[in-house]
Amino acid sequence: MKPRAGFTLVEVVVAIVILTTGLLAVAAGSGSVYRMLGSGHRSTAAAGVAQARLERLRREANRTSPRCTALAAGTASQTGGISERWLISGAGNTRTIREIVTVPNSRGSSTDTVFAIIECL
């Protein structure tokens, strides 16, 4: 008797199970990647808001004579529900700025804090 070419039913079922398992793993991983991309986008937005505020405060510190005399704490809201609050402390030749940025997310909100020191020489 001549051997027949092709696959048995058992081999086909095993191949389908392996393929299905692989596809489910890829689908589960894509959800995780999507969440990470969203988190990265929010972190980038928060960093941009903080950097812009710190640059504005540095320019404001340099405009006054003596330097740093016009710096004041405050709050602001940005588009997309992003809010920020900045606190200024210190005296003499330096000021410490604490910039707190709150970004909405699927679980409520997340907060990032940035510290910077401005020289007032």
Q: Hey, which residues does 51 pair with through a beta bridge?
A: none
The pLDDT tens digits of the residues spanning 5-37 come to: 888 999 999 999 999 999 999 998 888 888 899
* Residue 2 maps to a domain: no
pLDDT band at 47 (very low <50, low <70, confident <90, very high): very high
* Residue 53 maps to a domain: yes
* CA-based nearest residue to 109, from 37, 42, 41: 42
Q: Identify the domain containing residue 15 by its residue range.
A: 9-119
* Residue 1 maps to a domain: no
pTM across the whole model? 0.75
Provide the token pair at 77.
Answer: 């809201």
- What phi and psi, each to the nearest 5 degrees, are found at residue 65? -135, 115
* Residue 4 maps to a domain: no
Average pLDDT for 115-120: 94
**Considering its fold, how many domains does the chain have in total?**
1
User: Distance between CA atoms of 84 and 55, rounded to whole angstroms?
Assistant: 14
